Amino acid sequence: MAQSLFDSVMKTVREHDMASSENVALLMVSGGSDSTALAYLAAQMVAAGELGAVSMLHVNHKLRGEASDGDAAFVADLASRLEIPLFLCEVDIAEMVRSTGGNMEALARAERYRAAREALESTCLHLGFSLEAGRVFVAHTADDRVENFYMRSIVGTGPGGFRSMKHDVMIDGCRVCRPLLEVGRDELRSYVLHRHDAVQDEHGAAWREDATNADTDRFRAFVRHEIVPRAKERNPRLLETLTRTMNLIAEEDDMLIRDARVLLLEKVVPLGTSPAEGFLVSPALADSSLPLVRRVIDRVLSLMLGRDARVETSSIQACVDGLGKSGYVANIQGDIAVSYNRQGLRLEPMAAFRARRKKG
């Protein structure tokens, strides 16, 4: 069973060109079942010559008191047992939320990836790898991907949203890979439980459980515990079936992304040195197919708003509606002005739009 799982993970790694013996991977390990399995599997990759080297990162967000400290202690034991260098980072997310008023999940994510970049840079420097050869491995599974699919089906999603998760993405200049995306959580847990050398916490558990994951008032937990089990009653092979479907969607999405990127470079010019200053979209974009126009607009808005912001479907439609309509003006996403004249569709901060109007 263990070899079968390892082979499945390596198939994903090879098919998506995630890593080889020429690469080093930083493992983001929370101490939960999925990331604990990732640590064991990555250590096996190094031993098999499939990966050059690994290090681990654990970020303690200080949100669950002694339980958070217990997570950190468990991960430290795991790293020690596997003889993997460990970076431990503490960030008081609750205090950051109080002081900045920001979204807790977005702040926690930003801090994790900031720490990941620093840890990866240090790992590459000390182990003799270039930063380009560095990877960040995260433990998202087929279950996470299916949960995202259902979450998006409930609240709606934009272009390509139903592929749910990409196998690898660039975040803060780092290539972030998901080698476990084709395997399920139950399979990973069985793999950990059947290891004779599994690390245990003070309660004898082979991984750490986050009690908040059972709170069905939280959206993901609701989908995980209420929606997905009902779907599995109808189709016990749901993970396999839906993963195959999402991969088909992903192949078509990749093709459209490539075509939209060409159009973006040809038909869109920045209004300043920063994406937040806005863009001018050529009138000629209207000659392209509507799905590609939507994707170009979606990308422009993503650049303006930043990585963690949600692009609203109504905002994309407002921009599409404005193409070719002289005198068109709209306000989207709260602070972006959309206007059209013979030069094209202009997207800019509302303050800049008002300043131009005043001068005119």
Cα–Cα distance, 102 to 95 (Å, whole number): 10
Residues 6 or more apart in contact with residue 169 via CB below 8 angstroms: 175, 176
Amino acid, res. 257 = I
4 is in an annotated binding site: no
99 is in an annotated binding site: no
Using a CB cutoff of 8 Å and minimum separation of 24, what contacts does 199-206 make? 199/36, 199/74, 199/77, 199/78, 199/81, 201/70, 201/73, 201/74, 201/77, 202/70, 206/33, 206/36
DSSP per-residue string spanning 282-313? -GGGGGS-HHHHHHHHHHHHHHHH-TTSPPPH
Dihedral of alpha carbons 333, 337, 341, 343, sign: negative
156 is in an annotated binding site: no
122 is in an annotated binding site: no
The structure tokens listed for 237 are 């092979």
DSSP state of 143: H
Token look-up 């840890």 returns: 119
> If 0-12 CB within 10 Å is exposed, 13-18 middle and 19+ buried, where does residue 256 land?
middle
32 is in an annotated binding site: yes
282 is in an annotated binding site: no
Cα–Cα distance, 319 to 281 (Å, whole number): 10
- Residues annotated within the binding site are 30-35
- Residues annotated within the binding site for ATP are 30-35
